[in-house]
Amino acid sequence: MIRVFRAEWRKLRRPTLFIGTLLSITAVSVLSSSVFFIVMDQPRRGNEVRVTKTIFEQASGLTLGFGNAGSLLGVVALCVFAAQIAQEYTLGTMRNLLVRQPRRITLLVGKYFSMISFAAVIVFVSAIVSIITSYVGANFKHLSTSLWSTPAAYHSLALTFINVLIATLGYGTIGIFLGLLLRSPISAISIGLAWLLVVEGIMAAVFTGARQWLPGQLLSAVAAGGNPEVSYSRALLSSVVFLGALLVITGAIFSRRDVSA
């Protein structure tokens, strides 16, 4: 398994993939953190203010932008993970890998753990960029950041990091499943994004309570630490059950399906 892990990382650290992914993560993190400062104290429908200076000056204000980036990070992870798995089939390298490592589950688990570590890297980078962006935005808006260096703020940061990482891994797991099932990077990515960004959005808007069952909505709720529609505990439990079942199905498909099929 360790050899599989190292071999997969040789692919993941290619400059075109690694640097390109980090650049996209940086852009996503800056955008997600900056948008709060842009809309700060701006009235919405009925003169309701969505984000205020008081909210940002709390200890949890440091992680608002980072938590908001969770879904976008997940989309990046889905694309990367789906492409990495599907390309093994389109390039014909999966058969060669199975010759070197005939134990399919060992091969799949090694690949999965390498992608987990890759996801941890991009979430860590996102956290750093989001924190820097938040400090810059707070300075521009003349906000007090004294509570951002307290134990409560560090606890909030650690909890948000864990939640965003779980959500990112969830999206990535969906990407692995689609890549293995469809064996085409374009098909896996397009179908995954269409479902998560379009279909789920429509279903959540039309059907009451749909947010409590749709995987993308649940993972977004986990990243945000819960929302008015779905509590954090329900979102986390439902996501774990869904992803556990998805991993079992993925393992069954990979272990039984012919590589050339």
**124-145: average pLDDT:** 90
**207-231: average pLDDT:** 85
**54-76: average pLDDT:** 86
Does residue 52 register a pLDDT over 80?
no
Residue 53 confidence class, pLDDT cut points 50, 70, 90? confident
**211-236: average pLDDT:** 88
State the pLDDT at residue 121.
93
State the pLDDT at residue 49.
45
Does residue 47 register a pLDDT over 80?
no
Angle at 111 between CA 171 and CA 168, to 5 degrees: 20
Mean pLDDT of all residues belonging to the chain: 86
Which pLDDT tens digit goes with each residue over 137-193?
888 888 888 889 899 999 999 999 999 999 999 999 999 999 988 888 999 999 999
State the pLDDT at residue 212.
85
Does residue 43 register a pLDDT over 90?
no
Q: Which of 18, 43, 228, 227 is nearest to 122 (CA)?
A: 18
State the pLDDT at residue 41.
66
Residue 117 confidence class, pLDDT cut points 50, 70, 90? very high
Does residue 46 register a pLDDT over 60?
no
Does residue 42 register a pLDDT over 80?
no
State the pLDDT at residue 45.
55
Does residue 194 register a pLDDT over 50?
yes
pLDDT > 90: percent of the chain: 32
**Top-confidence range, 4-13, 88-97, 194-203, 207-216:** 194-203
State the pLDDT at residue 209.
79
Does residue 48 register a pLDDT over 70?
no
Residue 237 confidence class, pLDDT cut points 50, 70, 90? very high
Upper half-sphere CA count for residue 260 (Cβ side, 13 Å): 2
**43-65: average pLDDT:** 73
State the pLDDT at residue 50.
66
**217-222: average pLDDT:** 90
Rounded Cα–Cα distance for residues 100 and 95 (Å): 9
State the pLDDT at residue 175.
92
